[in-house]
Structure 1
Amino acid sequence: MTRLNRVIALLEQGATVFGGFAAPEPAAAVSVRDVAYDLVLFEAEHKPWDAPLLKDALQYLLDRRQLVGAETVTAPITPIVRIPANGGERSQWHAKQALDLGAFGVVWPHIDTVEDARNAVSACRYPRLDRPKEEPPGLRGDSPAWAARYWGIPTSEYYQRADVWPLAPSGEILVVLMIESVQAIENLDDILGEVPGIGLIMIGEGDLSQELGLPREYEHPTVLELKRRVLATCAAHGVAVAHPHVTQANVEQVLADGYRVLLTAPVVKYPGLDRGRALAGR
Structure 2
Amino acid sequence: MRGAGGLGYAAGIWGLKGPEYTQVADPWPLNPDGELMLGLKIEDRECVANAEYICKVPGLAFAEWGPGDMGMSYGFADAHDPPYPPVMEEARSIVKGACDENGIHFLCSWKDSSKSAEENIRFLMDWGVRILSGGGEDQARIGRAISGRQMPV
TM-score band w.r.t. shorter chain: 0.7 to 0.9
Paired AA for residue 274 in structure 1 = R
Shift of 1:146: 4.2
Verify the 8 A CA contact 1:203 1:244 in the aligned structure 2.
no
Give the 3 Å change call, closer, same or farther, for CA 241–172 of structure 1 in structure 2: same
Return the TM-score normalized by structure 2: 0.78
Give the 3 Å change call, closer, same or farther, for CA 203–149 of structure 1 in structure 2: same
Equivalent residue, structure 1, for 2:95: 230
Secondary structure of 2:99's partner? helix
In the alignment, the residues of structure 1 paired with residue 12 and residue 141 of structure 2 have an alpha-carbon distance, to the nearest angstrom, of 33
Shift of 1:154: 1.4
Unaligned segments of structure 2, at least 5 residues: none
- Percent identity over paired residues: 29
Choose the corresponding residue for 1:258, options 125, 128, 149: 128
Secondary structure of 1:255's partner? helix
| Mapped pair 1:275 → 2:142 | yes
Shift of 1:161: 2.3
Paired AA for residue 280 in structure 1 = S
* RMSD of Structure 2 on Structure 1 (CA): 2.3
Correspondence list, 1:61-80, <5 A: none
Unaligned segments of structure 1, at least 5 residues: 1-124, 128-140
| Mapped pair 1:199 → 2:58 | no
Shift of 1:273: 3.2
Equivalent residue, structure 2, for 1:179: 42
Equivalent residue, structure 2, for 1:241: 106
Give the 3 Å change call, closer, same or farther, for CA 216–254 of structure 1 in structure 2: farther
Secondary structure of 2:64's partner? strand
Higher relative contact order (CA 8 A, sep 6+): 1
Return the TM-score normalized by structure 1: 0.45
Paired AA for residue 153 in structure 1 = L
Shift of 1:167: 1.8
Aligned residues: 141
Shift of 1:126: 2.1
